């Protein structure tokens, strides 16, 4: 048995209209073109599907028996087509993602700029959140995608794509006493206030673990979870901090403690049980093939 969907559609339309001419009009075909499709179907099935009585077209017994099967085949073909279309990421629609300030300011600009140029039909909204805020919104299903500095401990709800490794560096203001020392230990840092984000952050855990391994207590101040705010306070001489290497500007002194500098992974996260929209899937694939790059936040 050999027939095409176009021939099935011609048969079903002719059966519905009871007229080859009206069926041809419905399908935007010539009447000979419609007749050819139906004849090819009859040849494939080796039966006559219609009796032609003057200008009327009447289904034969075989035609009446075949009609429900033809309708079902066309319906299933349309469902399959819709399924395949749904698997292709949409190039129009809305996309809402979140990022921390420092990821957005120092890494995301080129990626976002190229993405919106490539897909102008996608309405992209970016919110600046802490990693903890982004994690909460993703878990609640209020956000499709979010950049963060590694997942919280014992994460179960989200999936992650690693997009960047960054090194954390110890830094002080140029006139801070630590900046005047050529050789340093962690014990030297412990003599001065540490300006660090909250204890629920990956940055804080990395630094605390480092000092615990050295059995060295820390004098921690928690003025903000935003690294830009911490940098401003360090520039004012209020203490030392640990910042991503990309944030060490000319107003800061990077301390010679390279052997102690920890690293962390920047992740793009999404809920593992929530189907991503077409624009979100497009962006996820875009980030996988367009690595985040370092750029000036100015």
Give CA–CA dist 244/26, Å, rounded: 65
**pLDDT score recorded for residue 81:** 74
**pLDDT score recorded for residue 294:** 60
For CA atoms 74, 80, 81, 82, the dihedral sign is positive
Query: Among residues 150, 146, 122, 144, which one has the least CA distance to residue 264?
Result: 150
Write out the CATH class of domain 166-264. Answer: alpha beta
**pLDDT score recorded for residue 86:** 63
- What residue segments make up the domains of the chain, in order of their start? 5-87, 93-164+265-289, 166-264
pTM exceeds 0.85: no
Give CA–CA dist 49/130, Å, rounded: 68
Please list the ranges in the chain whose pLDDT falls under 50: none
Mean residue pLDDT across the chain: 89
| 5-87 has CATH 3.40.50.300 classification | no
The superfamily in CATH containing domain 93-164+265-289 is Periplasmic binding protein-like II (3.40.190.10)
**pLDDT score recorded for residue 296:** 54
Same fold, 93-164+265-289 and 166-264: yes
């Amino acid at each position: 048995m050999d027939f095409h969907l176009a021939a099935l559609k011609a048969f079903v339309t002719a059966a519905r209209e009871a007229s080859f001419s009206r069926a041809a009009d419905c399908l935007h075909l010539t009447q000979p073109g419609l007749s050819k499709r139906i004849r090819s179907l009859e040849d494939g099935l080796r039966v006559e599907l219609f009796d032609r009585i003057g200008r009327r077209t009447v289904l034969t017994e075989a035609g009446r028996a075949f009609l429900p099967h033809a309708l079902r085949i066309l319906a299933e073909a349309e469902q399959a087509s819709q399924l395949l279309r749904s698997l292709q990421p949409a190039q129009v629609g809305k996309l809402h993602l979140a990022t921390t300030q420092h990821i957005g300011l120092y890494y995301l600009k080129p990626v976002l700029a190229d993405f919106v140029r490539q897909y102008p039909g996608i309405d992209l909204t970016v919110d600046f959140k802490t990693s903890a805020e982004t994690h909460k919104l993703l878990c609640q299903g209020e956000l499709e995608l979010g950049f963060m500095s590694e997942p919280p401990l014992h994460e179960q709800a989200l999936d992650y794509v690693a997009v960047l490794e960054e090194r954390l560096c110890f830094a002080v203001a140029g006139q801070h006493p630590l900046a005047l020392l050529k050789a340093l230990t962690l014990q030297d840092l412990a003599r001065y206030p540490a300006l660090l984000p909250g204890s629920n952050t990956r940055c804080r855990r990395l630094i605390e673990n480092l000092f615990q391994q050295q059995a060295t207590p820390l004098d921690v101040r928690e003025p903000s979870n935003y690294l830009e705010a911490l940098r401003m306070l360090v520039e004012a001489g209020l203490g030392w901090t640990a910042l991503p290497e990309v944030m060490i500007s000319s107003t800061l002194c990077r301390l010679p403690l390279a052997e102690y500098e920890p690293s962390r992974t920047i992740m793009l996260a999404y809920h593992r049980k929530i189907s991503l929209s077409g624009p979100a899937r497009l962006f996820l694939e875009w980030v996988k093939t367009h690595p985040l790059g370092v750029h000036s936040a100015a």
